[in-house]
Amino acid sequence: MNREQLDGTRMLEREADIPSKERIERRRQALEWGLESAYSITDRTLPLFNRNGAAGKFSSSNTFLGVPFQRDMRSLDGQDVVFVGAPLDAGSTYRTGTRFGPDGIRAISALSLGYSFELGVDLFESLRMIDAGDISVIPANIEKTFDQIDKAVAFLHERAVFPVVFGGDHSIGYPDIRGLAPYIDGNIGIIHFDRHPDMGELSIDERMHGTPFFHATNIPNAPPQNLVQIGIGGWNMNRDGLKNSRERGATVISMGDIDRWGLDRIAEMALEIAWENAKCVWLSFDIDVVDPAFAPGTGTPEPGGMLPREALRMLELVTREGLAGMEVVEVAPPYDVSDITSLLGARVVMDVLGNLVNNGKLGRKPPSEPEAIPEIETED
Ligand SMILES: [Mn+2]
């Protein structure tokens, strides 16, 4: 027996005879539609927005809420909202899996028709929404991926479309702010829901998911005085990060604070801090702020978090003055049960959009204002 008798050898020869015209054309088309990558990417055929490229796939039939898939990013213009995935989980310090977060959230969003009875909003009637698919991430390189996310998010702000970014782990919080910062003529406030402050400079020698707000608040127009962190607590805490929160003057609100003061007063305080001398506010929602009984599909679950109803009420309150964009991070479908974590992630997004519509901050308001609810009469 020799090499020439192997099927492997025969097929190696055959591969050379199969034409590549369509394959090359598909890659050229993907680059044209998906735009040029960040400068740090060596392979210039890799597009900024992944159009069915090598690093993961995106199915146009699986968009958030079934909105149209924006295949050609050059024609993005005039829409109200763009959904985009940033499926990076190399920033996870322990349990990976958030790279499947965007697809998990999109898949379960099929349950919804985009109408909320309680909010009185039909998102399809009030907003022009598209799904841009996923940003091309570099699974083995956090910094190159930051460059990609920064450039992609900047492109969305340049076209004045409200971005909803699906993580991914929380490390993407830094390039999300970095991509926004140049477009804001003034300071950015950050309202951050999380059980963890994510204020370390480095963890395990890299800018992992415990570090985004250290680096975000190094950006001159994203000062730590406008960062408010809500729901912090538990036993998985980077003490150096807490030192940074303290020294920089960020505001940390614990679960105990929420219990003591109540949702309304905490939300009021969050708005005051985030908006003080700020031009806009970014919302960062880590799904692990919700108790793992309701959101088990996440990398670093922390018992004792918010109830879903509390989180949704808080979102209603803190979106009152409008937002420049939002991210939902740390949804990790491999640890999920019956998709409940993905479902909550989708719900967070729909509620934020519905409240922004009701407050006249995004899209077109429903035609009529509901009557005020009459006071409850009590006998005493
Ligand atoms: Mn967290």
- Is 24 inside any structural domain? no
Q: Is residue 146 part of a domain?
A: yes
Closest CA to 151 of 51, 41, 63, 253: 41
Ligand 1: centre distance to CA 300 (Å): 6
- Whichever domain contains 94, its CATH number is 3.40.800.10
Distances (CA, A) of 91 to 111, 170, 204: 30, 7, 10
Residue 251 CA to ligand 1 center (angstroms) comes to: 16
9-63 pLDDT per residue, tens: 999 999 999 999 998 998 899 999 999 999 999 999 999 999 865 445 555 568 9
Q: What is the pLDDT of residue 231?
A: 98
326 is a domain residue: yes
pLDDT at 55: 47
Q: Is residue 29 part of a domain?
A: no
Q: How many domains does the chain have?
A: 1
For residue 299, is it within any domain?
yes
How many angstroms separate the Cα of 82 from the Cα of each of 68, 79, 359?
10, 7, 19
* Burial (Cβ within 10 Å: 0-12, 13-18, ≥19) of residue 371: exposed
Please tell me the distance between residue 288's alpha carbon and the centre of ligand 1 in angstroms.
Answer: 5
Give domain status of residue 7, yes or no. no
Q: Between the CA of residue 198 and those of 93, 163, 217, what are the distances in Å? A: 12, 22, 11
Range of the structural domain that residue 150 is part of: 36-358
Residues with CB under 5 A from ligand 1 (ion): 194, 196, 286, 288
Name the helix (H) or strand (E) containing 27: helix 21-34
Helix (H, G, I), strand (E, B) or coil at 13: helix
Give the CA-trace dihedral at 121, 259, 98, 44, to 10 degrees: 70
% of the chain at pLDDT higher than 70: 97
- Which DSSP helix (H) or strand (E) runs through 107? helix 101-108
Identify each DSSP E strand in the chain by its residue range: 81-86, 115-116, 121-122, 129-134, 162-167, 187-193, 227-232, 251-254, 278-286, 325-329
- Identify whether 11 is part of a domain: no
Expressed in angstroms and rounded, the spacing between residue 194 Cα and the centre of ligand 1 is 5
Give domain status of residue 260, yes or no: yes
70-117: pLDDT as tens digits: 999 999 988 999 999 999 999 999 999 999 999 999 999 999 999 999
